[in-house]
Amino acid sequence: AQSVTQPDIHITVSEGASLELRCNYSYGATPYLFWYVQSPGQGLQLLLKYFSGDTLVQGIKGFEAEFKRSQSSFNLRKPSVHWSDAAEYFCAVGILTGGGNKLTFGTGTQLKVEL
Amino acid sequence: DAGVIQSPRHEVTEMGQEVTLRCKPISGHNSLFWYRQTMMRGLELLIYFNNNVPIDDSGMPEDRFSAKMPNASFSTLKIQPSEPRDSAVYFCASSPWLAGGIGEQFFGPGTRLTVL
């Protein structure tokens, strides 16, 4: 069965510093990978996704992620963090099933930004 | 587009009562998902529908939980009877069909359920 591991529960960075959130997945076939962000009291919003092709994908809000098959990783990065980036970040792997598709989410990484 | 609409946004009820959560997906989306989010268990997929048909309900915790999608624009998640351990935020999400792939899931704002 597929699974997603986000090893960092909490991360604190200073505003303007770079950010990398780690994500490792387990899935037997080529994965569909996603990063979502959740602000307090809100639903999840898609930041970016990887299906195939270029392993470096660009997303909204200046985020990017790199798919590394050899490491089973899909880490999220941002070169300069803004205070408004404080939120919870979820990595997810999607699978196609007989009748549709579904996502398995990691446990999330809570990002705190210090001013 | 108004996005995925969920109601109510907050629900407080007493143990043993029936709870019904409602969801209106984005028009034209053919998949609908119900999730539960708690501190202890994170984000769990409860059930999902494709073209109004339940595809996978393996995440539904107990028979007390049931979900329906009578048409393409409406779904309900019912808990009867409710228990304090059902307290959580329940999200509905919808996605379009994407040929050969997986469409982006658009999440609603969630319903925060508290069972006393």
CA distance A10 to chain B (A): 14
Alpha-carbon distance of A18 to A63, in angstroms, equals 11
For residues B111 and B13, the answer to whether their CB atoms sit within 8 Å is no
- What token pair was written down for A106? 């990691």
Which pLDDT value is given to residue A31? 85
Q: Which residues of chain B have pLDDT under 70?
A: 1
Task: Tell which of B35, B94, B105, B106 to mutate to test the A interface (max A CBs under 10 Å).
Answer: B105
A103/B105 touch (CB, cutoff 8 Å), yes or no: yes
Which pLDDT value is given to residue B5? 97
Which pLDDT value is given to residue A56? 96
Which pLDDT value is given to residue A99? 67
A99/B4 touch (CB, cutoff 8 Å), yes or no: no
CA angle at A84 for the pair A83 and A86, rounded to the nearest 5°: 80
The tens place of each residue's pLDDT in chain A, 115 residues long, gives: 789 999 999 999 999 999 999 999 998 777 899 999 999 888 999 999 998 888 999 999 999 999 999 999 999 999 999 999 999 999 999 887 766 778 999 999 999 999 9
Torsion-angle region of residue A72: left (phi > 0), alpha (psi -120 to 50) or beta? left
Report the residue from B91, B102, B109 with minimal CB separation from A94.
B102
Task: Tell which of B35, B45, B102 to mutate to test the A interface (max A CBs under 10 Å).
Answer: B102
Which pLDDT value is given to residue B1? 66
